[in-house]
Amino acid sequence: MEGPDRAIWFAGDLGDPWVVSIAESLPRESPRFDCPGDLPEVWPIDRPSPFALVVHRSTLSSTDAHRLARLKARADRTPRIVLCVGPYARYADVERWARLVDVVMPEATAREIVLRSALAIERKPRPSGGARPRVVVVSSNHDLRATLVEAARTGGFSVEGVSEPVEATPGVAVVWDVPVLEPDWPERLAALSRKSSVLALLGFADRATVTLARSQGAFACLDLPCDIGDLLHTLDRMTSARHDTPHATPPAPAAIRANLVRKH
């Protein structure tokens, strides 16, 4: 997928396993720059300018913004810049950086969609003929359920909407608006994931919540609200032939569960 004209660089704290997981969702040959502190003052000059640069930052400093702007100004081609931002960044700083980068996404769900964003992948319409992959949208919120159903249907899927996970047809890909404020949601997700591949939509997506959802068998996790393109991209992955079987559901780590109880 990545050639000389589509090279992707990654910059972030490679001592942080979560940041490494984002980097690993990019092509294996993507150069990685370990930046536990500031971004590099001088970027490598022995490499062609990247097609895209993915940057993870826990906080957004003026120094980093200046160095990123300088890279864009000096590159032989202006790279597409994707910012994966941590939870400690101030809203005002995110707004300022949004004028400097092409895409801003939260770190918690970045690995699901960062490659699509870095390469600006446009989804091709599904052929009109043939069977359409089946999807069940689960949400107790009628308006949200209707919106998600319509989005998936427009994307070429055969869709039905239900209000509770127990109503989902076994074996059919499921999009679940997870009620993360309800204490039993991990057990309900585990039960659902034993029957179907599940895309978990999380209204409070952070590292702990995403880790817990994945440990209970979620195929993928996205923030709510989510970009429709990201939703369809993830559904394409879920319904492809190699992902037909549900994921295993190892027990949730006790520390993560305790953290969620304290938060909610």
Cα distances from 187 to residues 76, 92, 151, 208, 251, in angstroms, run 52, 38, 28, 16, 10
pLDDT tens per residue across span 104-113: 999 999 999 9
Closest CA to 257 of 221, 222, 219, 209: 209
* Average of per-residue pLDDT across 128-139: 84
Residue 260 has what DSSP assignment?
Answer: H
Residue 156 has what DSSP assignment?
Answer: T
pLDDT at 229: 92
- pTM (2 d.p.): 0.84
Q: Are 28 and 8 in contact (CB under 8 A)?
A: no
* Average of per-residue pLDDT across 132-141: 94
pLDDT tens per residue across span 199-232: 999 998 999 999 999 999 999 999 999 999 999 9
pLDDT at 128: 63
Categorize the per-residue pLDDT at 130 as very low, low, confident or very high, splitting at 50, 70 and 90.
low
How far is C-alpha 74 from the chain's CA centre?
30
Lowest mean pLDDT among 37-46, 90-99, 237-246, 248-257: 248-257
pLDDT tens per residue across span 55-71: 999 999 999 999 998 88
Domains in the chain: ranges and CATH: 4-119 (3.40.50.2300), 134-263 (3.40.50.2300)
Q: Is the peptide bond before 225 cis (omega within 30 degrees of 0)?
A: yes
pLDDT tens per residue across span 232-254: 999 999 988 434 433 333 333 33
pLDDT at 87: 87
On average, the pLDDT of the chain sits at 86
Higher pLDDT, 126 or 244: 126
Q: Across 124-194, where does the E strand assignment appear?
A: 134-138, 158-162, 173-178
What does the alpha-carbon distance between residue 25 and residue 2 come to, in Å, rounded to a whole number?
13
Tokens of 20: 């490494």
Q: Is the pLDDT of residue 123 over 50?
A: yes
Categorize the per-residue pLDDT at 120 as very low, low, confident or very high, splitting at 50, 70 and 90.
confident
Q: Kindly report the CA angle at 169 between 174 and 161, in degrees rounded to 5?
A: 60
